[in-house]
Structure 1
Amino acid sequence: MPHYITLATCALNQWALDFEGNRDRILESILQAKSRKASLRVGPELEIPGYGCLDHFLENDIYLHSWEMYASILTDIRTYGILLDIGMPIMHRNRRYNCRVLSYNGEILLIRPKIVLANDGNYREMRYFTPWLKTQYVEEYILPRMIQRITNQVTVKFGDAVISTLDTCMGAETCEELFTPQAPHISMALDGIEIITNSSGSHHELRKLDTRMAMIIEATRKCGGIYLYANQKGCDGDRLYYDGCALIVMNGKVMAQGSQFSLADVEVITATIDLEEVRAYRALISHGIQSRLAPKYERVHVPAELSPDSMNFDMKINPSVPKHLKYYKPEEEIAYGPACWLWDYVRRSRGSGFFIPLSGGIDSCATSVIVHSMCRLVVQACKEGNRQVIEDVQAVANMPQSWIPSSPQDLAGKIFHTCYMGTQNSSLDTRRRAKELAEKIGSYHVDLNMDSLVSATISLFEVTTGKKPVFKIFGGSNIENLALQNIQARLRMVLAYLFAQLLPWVRGRTNTGGLLVLGSANVDEQLRGYLTKYDCSSADINPIGGISKSDLIRFIIWAEKEFELPVLKTFVDATPTAELEPITASHVQSDEADMGFTYDELSMFGRLRKVDKCGPYSMFIKLLHIWGDQKTPEETADKVKKFFWYYSVNRHKQTVSTPSYHAEQYSPDDNRFDLRPFLIDPRFSWARQKIDDVLSKLRTNETLSTMTVD
């Protein structure tokens, strides 16, 4: 006879320190799970305080408030009748732990601390928490008095144990543990645990989802069993976007998958599975032999059944069928990930919308199209009746409760503001492109010339010093040329914030906040330092700061057709240019010429530097092979030396880089992801000498080879 069991996992849009809101979303997920007859509900990592509290985890208040929220969940009888797996931080013997708290019918069964902490890249868990290094080890935890009064329990098991019910056994592993060589789910499976939960705080990164999904599926492909993956979603208050995609897998087959990008704050997925399929899958001699050598888990027994009585077989139960995983193309990830992040940011910051200097180039174009994508998602959610989105959009747009946006353009006209800030160095083409794009996406567009502002600033300098700088093409020096470009860029930043604060007032909205200023420097330009410190790339947030130029171009090509915006082709066809130098018959400024690198080359440098952890010498050796048929060794050496020079002398710019959506593993963001110093000797003299030694040997070998042939 089958033993059907309905299980629920979820993705929740939690927000750091939003204790009441986080609790309410947890409660909503429990109620949704119960309404679908689920007997187990799993939630994201640290879901009560929010995963991204960072150094707030060092504050004792976090632990008090988490218990207070958990107490309100325990006392809510609507949460009875379902096994709950909830994430929160707990202090035990004066040590802070990242924990799963498992309860049933208002009684705490087990507190399971995280064994392996995420402590690289974007994560610093060991800064706040202690890992539970003793596997299969359990201690007694004295519950807070407020919980003792509710549950009539004084102590509860704390450690690496599992839950045993009348019909099955379940255990928990947390996020990072899945990715370790000795993942707990292996030992659990060998000890007969049939259901394994994984509660995660995993962020979106371009082309990353398939890696995560493959690991989850592999967790049960070899060992058998049921695996429930829960994840946070949304912007938790920082640079990361958690992309949900909850998953239920059995025996290596996907039984249910949640959405990766969604504006829904609560998303619950369920699957009805036959436990007998797990038992049949594990009927292998090798599995049985290894199980006798595997460690044993202490079982915490709870007198409850998670599956209906098999003697009363119900034909109305429909078991779930395997599904194919859904993946987005990178272009779609760019369209939806940063768009959802922007929506969370503007609604939670209580902003009135966005402002961007729209230059007519592809970077500000891409940023604007991402805002357009956000508007499309919001309008679609409103049409689907999402009450939270409807309330939020009315608040952001400062519109009455009767108003619902009819189109993305209708919404953009209320909350999105663009401005072309032209000078005598600007071309008619960029001005025209900016205006046409603004019209197509519906933004409130301003077109201005700022030559008088630039001239007044230069005149002030001339009056003060008696010297007037001129551009290089007119006989000026490099330093004059750079200063004249930078003043234009920095004045655009000043204007951006002026217009962002006052445009709502100009439009008669005197009781609203200002607009959030969007930056639009891509990850390759930030890596090279090809931007002016405190220029119009300095903003409140930057949706494309972690996205490469190549990916942005592919995104615009995709959006041209998907969003029906033919104007985007003109942006793709145009030569990237800052338009900060005068245009003459013989000179038009080019970004790639100014940088001394193509954008593809910068992407390569970025990945080798950060992902492959290469210094100048090892990068040169790798590129000798990668670029062997494209560049001579001397050309490769020159590129590597120049890259590290510019990267080093511009590293200081990352200290004030606008908080950017994290999308690439080679992001140079030194505020969180790339912890390298900002004062570096740009000469790398020893590495340069070793590169030159290799070049010398290559020339010698080439000469000897030529002599042998002759």
Structure 2
Amino acid sequence: MGHLITVATCSLNQWALDFEGNLHRILESIRIAKEKGATLRVGPELEITGYGCMDHFLEGDTCLHAWEVLGVILQSEEARDIVCDIGMPVMHKNVIYNCRVVIHNGKILLIRPKMWMANDGNYRELRWFTPWMKHRQHEDHYVPRIIHAITGQTKVPFGDAVVSTIDTCIGIELCEELFTPASPHILMGLDGVEIFTNSSGSHHELRKLYRRVELMKEATMKLGGIYLYANQQGCDGDRLYYDGCAMIVVNGRVVAQGSQFSLQDVEVVTATVDIEDIRSHRATSSRSNQAAGAERYHRIEVDFALSGMKGDEIKDFSELVVAPLPEVRYHRPEEEIALGPACWLWDYLRRSRTQGYFIPLSGGIDSCATSVIVYSMCRLVAEAARNGDEHVIADARRIAGEAPDSDYTPTDPREFANRIFHTCYMGTENSSPETRKRAKDLAHAIGSYHIDLNMDALVTAVRDLFAYVTGVKPKFKVHGGSGAENLALQNIQARLRMVVAYLFAQLMPWVRGRQGGLLVLGSANVDESLRGYFTKYDCSSADINPIGAISKTDLKKFIAYARGAFELPVLTEFLEAVPTAELEPITDSYVQADEVDMGMTYDELSVFGRLRKVEKCGPWSMFTKLVHEWGSFLSPQQVAEKVKHFFFEYARNRHKMTTLTPSYHAEQYSPDDNRFDLRPFLYPSRFPWQFKKIDEAAARWPDRSSLKPSDAKDKISVLP
């Protein structure tokens, strides 16, 4: 062993504009890092302000308060004798930059602005920040007077530079810069930088973690080095859940990994590494040849050794226990659904300061999945309480209506669910005994406070009102009514459920002798939103929706997983039931079924959704891809009809996306109109040019299918 260094990175549950809370969590992370012997601490991206401030980044107040918080950190005892890498927005020469501020013992060593911005999908960094385009250049930044009064500094280095300690060299990347083809760590590493920090605001998405880990492993495998990854964690006030998973990677191997989903506000990950291992790894001819010709970075020197040198004294590591390298932990998608939305719901609930959740529980798999996610949240709260997490216990007491000095501890998830989760079956004459029973049995299994009501009187009153005003009474199609009548009568039921849901959500705490109100949960999945298969302003219109960006296919896998993991055998009935809206009368010859109504299967919808959004396909390119993918069991004409039907229904229902309930983001093909999927909501829904081209090709191309149309459904698989 040569030069042993203990380094720390962290995941913080920051909240946009919560400067007081963010400060406390930053100081707590520094304190824990020092307690574990670390001499370098790295935090998440924009940790002082919170990552999700959005247009508040354009306000002078946001930068001002960030400097005020940094001033407190600079003066704190926690930040003594440790190098800290802290994130905040900085205005330099009247331009706003997303920056890392490196500090040590009450001084600012370097302000490093972000050079490559995340600006697609959920990210709009170029709306608020400007990238630093002067690569490997730095200039003077004149600090505010409040900082000058604390540090005595008038100006500090600002730009693309690195920090040189007595024993090593530290370089900085910010989130997106790791994902770019020409990442800064390559040139920094060739110029002798041995430790790389990466501060991120990376949100959870199903199956996403693997890419993040592999990029860090690959970077340090071929380059050599220590990579410290810090990430935001939790819901900071919007649809995204930042999934933490701070980690330390050395020479292509993960040596420490934090949790991906946690109720903790502060999680610090440390590792003790030998800097000589980096030098040994880099001792190759090809790397040395490239390094000898590399452009230099300006080094900001600091009279401090991360290996703990004080004069001639070296930190004693004689009792160091070298643990085996951990295996990287990846959750299966169904586990991610159980954990990510549950943690997001907990943050939303405690930060909104409401008394719980309310959901119209229909007896179908979507509202079932949403309810089970709430139960998963209750399980996580109970587990944290059993482990003595004081912050979780305090929040749970307040939400459950207990006094701050109460000794109540939510160690039983079913008991806690009964206090904060309200389910309601809103039946009509079109509802079946089976769905009513499933709803009741599920509520009993998870412990929710359940209500069973019949709303026929409401539906009849609205129907009679229309008949009184117009002189005609609408009828369902099975009773001889038209399509317009049939649809209107279905929508009456759906929209009244939304009204009833909000009435009960506002008053149920009062009924139970408590104060406050409940948040209404929606339960429309991503495939139904994409297709527009829901009523505008029905019970899918809610406060938040934890499954709004999760496919029906993944929801079924989640329910199958939860059946065993959560010991809920009642979920078998939901898996076996045919999805139905139950908005039309049931007869001997007709039972409403979702996939029949939609004219496409849920698996097909997942394929269409991925091709439309992820693969960036319009009608024509989707058709050509699917002729190749499905050509062995569907003719070109059949593929053409499916593609045209999807785009027609998608286009004519796109307007519904403008009113979609804010949903937890989990899927790359989410049609969320708010920011993620920016498209028109008034389309030429028959796409005359595109559809004509498809029809011409379908008539001309040979039929390679060898299966009957009825067998095709089993052959359609969801793209990875």
TM-score tier after normalising by the smaller chain length: over 0.9
1:600 aligns with 2:603: yes
Distance of 1:389 and 1:600 partners within structure 2: 39
Contact residue 541 and residue 661 of structure 2 kept, 8 A = yes
**Which of 454, 460, 465 is 1:455 aligned to?**
460
Structure-to-structure mapping, 1:657-696, within 5 angstroms: 657-696=660-699
Per the TM alignment, residue 697 of structure 1 is displaced from its structure 2 partner at its CA by: 1.5
Structure-to-structure mapping, 1:4-83, within 5 angstroms: 4-83=4-83
1:364 aligns with 2:400: no
Matched residue SS, 2:398 = helix
Structure-to-structure mapping, 1:416-431, within 5 angstroms: 416-431=421-436
Matched residue SS, 1:139 = strand
Per the TM alignment, residue 317 of structure 1 is displaced from its structure 2 partner at its CA by: 2.6
Structure 1 counterpart of 2:70, which letter? Y
Contact residue 203 and residue 240 of structure 1 kept, 8 A = yes
Structure 2 counterpart of 1:298, which letter? H
Distance of 1:701 and 1:431 partners within structure 2: 46
Contact residue 352 and residue 513 of structure 1 kept, 8 A = yes
| Cα distance per residue 1:628-668 (max 9 Å; x no partner) | 12322111100100101010010000001000000000000
Per the TM alignment, residue 467 of structure 1 is displaced from its structure 2 partner at its CA by: 1.2
Q: 1:51 to 1:312 in 2, by over 3 A?
A: closer
Unaligned runs of 5+ in 1: 703-710
| Cα distance per residue 1:185-241 (max 9 Å; x no partner) | 001110010000000000000011101111111110110000000000000100000
Distance of 2:295 and 2:525 partners within structure 1: 49
Per the TM alignment, residue 318 of structure 1 is displaced from its structure 2 partner at its CA by: 3.2
In structure 2, the residue matched to 1:577 is 580
In structure 2, the residue matched to 1:184 is 184
| Cα distance per residue 1:125-155 (max 9 Å; x no partner) | 0000000011101010000000001000000
Distance of 1:174 and 1:700 partners within structure 2: 51
Per the TM alignment, residue 314 of structure 1 is displaced from its structure 2 partner at its CA by: 3.2
| Cα distance per residue 1:96-140 (max 9 Å; x no partner) | 000000010010000000000100000000000000011101010
Q: 1:311 to 1:531 in 2, by over 3 A?
A: closer
| Cα distance per residue 1:594-646 (max 9 Å; x no partner) | 00010000000000000000000000000001111232211110010010101
Per the TM alignment, residue 397 of structure 1 is displaced from its structure 2 partner at its CA by: 0.8
Per the TM alignment, residue 693 of structure 1 is displaced from its structure 2 partner at its CA by: 1.5
Matched residue SS, 1:78 = coil
Aligned-pair identity in percent equals: 65
In structure 1, the residue matched to 2:566 is 563
1:636 aligns with 2:644: no
Distance of 2:133 and 2:216 partners within structure 1: 23
| Cα distance per residue 1:297-322 (max 9 Å; x no partner) | 00000000100348665312334542
| Cα distance per residue 1:483-525 (max 9 Å; x no partner) | 000000000000000000001111111xx22100000000000
Q: 1:5 to 1:319 in 2, by over 3 A?
A: farther
Distance of 1:356 and 1:112 partners within structure 2: 46
In structure 2, the residue matched to 1:328 is 331
Q: 1:676 to 1:534 in 2, by over 3 A?
A: same
In structure 2, the residue matched to 1:706 is none
1:399 aligns with 2:402: yes
Distance of 1:3 and 1:322 partners within structure 2: 19
Per the TM alignment, residue 77 of structure 1 is displaced from its structure 2 partner at its CA by: 2.1
In structure 2, the residue matched to 1:707 is none
For these two proteins, the number of residue pairs brought into alignment is: 700
Q: Which deviates more from structure 2 when the two are superposed, residues 527-536 or residues 693-702?
A: 693-702
Distance of 1:38 and 1:528 partners within structure 2: 52
Q: 1:479 to 1:156 in 2, by over 3 A?
A: same
**Which of 504, 511, 527 is 1:506 aligned to?**
511
Structure 1 counterpart of 2:271, which letter? A
Structure-to-structure mapping, 1:296-375, within 5 angstroms: 296-309=296-309, 313-319=316-322, 321-375=324-378
Distance of 2:443 and 2:315 partners within structure 1: 64
Per the TM alignment, residue 182 of structure 1 is displaced from its structure 2 partner at its CA by: 0.5
In structure 2, the residue matched to 1:521 is 524
Matched residue SS, 2:572 = helix
TM-score if structure 2 supplies the norm length?
A: 0.96
Q: Which deviates more from structure 2 when the two are superposed, residues 316-325 or residues 404-413?
A: 316-325
Structure 1 counterpart of 2:600, which letter? F
Contact residue 10 and residue 268 of structure 1 kept, 8 A = yes
Matched residue SS, 1:630 = coil
Per the TM alignment, residue 78 of structure 1 is displaced from its structure 2 partner at its CA by: 2.5
In structure 2, the residue matched to 1:705 is none
In structure 1, the residue matched to 2:293 is 293
Matched residue SS, 2:329 = coil
Structure 2 counterpart of 1:204, which letter? H
Contact residue 272 and residue 318 of structure 1 kept, 8 A = no
In structure 2, the residue matched to 1:275 is 275
Distance of 1:77 and 1:558 partners within structure 2: 47
Distance of 1:63 and 1:671 partners within structure 2: 26
TM-score if structure 1 supplies the norm length?
A: 0.98
Distance of 1:700 and 1:354 partners within structure 2: 53
Distance of 1:128 and 1:186 partners within structure 2: 27
Contact residue 626 and residue 639 of structure 2 kept, 8 A = yes
Matched residue SS, 1:571 = helix
Distance of 1:185 and 1:306 partners within structure 2: 20
In structure 1, the residue matched to 2:711 is none
Structure 2 counterpart of 1:562, which letter? A
Contact residue 529 and residue 651 of structure 1 kept, 8 A = yes
Q: 1:391 to 1:701 in 2, by over 3 A?
A: closer
In structure 2, the residue matched to 1:532 is 535
In structure 2, the residue matched to 1:92 is 92
In structure 1, the residue matched to 2:108 is 108
Contact residue 255 and residue 320 of structure 1 kept, 8 A = no
Distance of 2:107 and 2:321 partners within structure 1: 31
Matched residue SS, 2:540 = coil
Per the TM alignment, residue 671 of structure 1 is displaced from its structure 2 partner at its CA by: 0.5
1:411 aligns with 2:406: no
Structure 2 counterpart of 1:635, which letter? Q
Contact residue 174 and residue 198 of structure 1 kept, 8 A = yes
Matched residue SS, 2:223 = coil
Matched residue SS, 2:255 = strand
Per the TM alignment, residue 475 of structure 1 is displaced from its structure 2 partner at its CA by: 1.2
Structure 2 counterpart of 1:360, which letter? G
In structure 1, the residue matched to 2:471 is 466
In structure 1, the residue matched to 2:552 is 549
Unaligned runs of 5+ in 2: 706-720
Matched residue SS, 1:264 = coil
Q: 1:700 to 1:326 in 2, by over 3 A?
A: closer
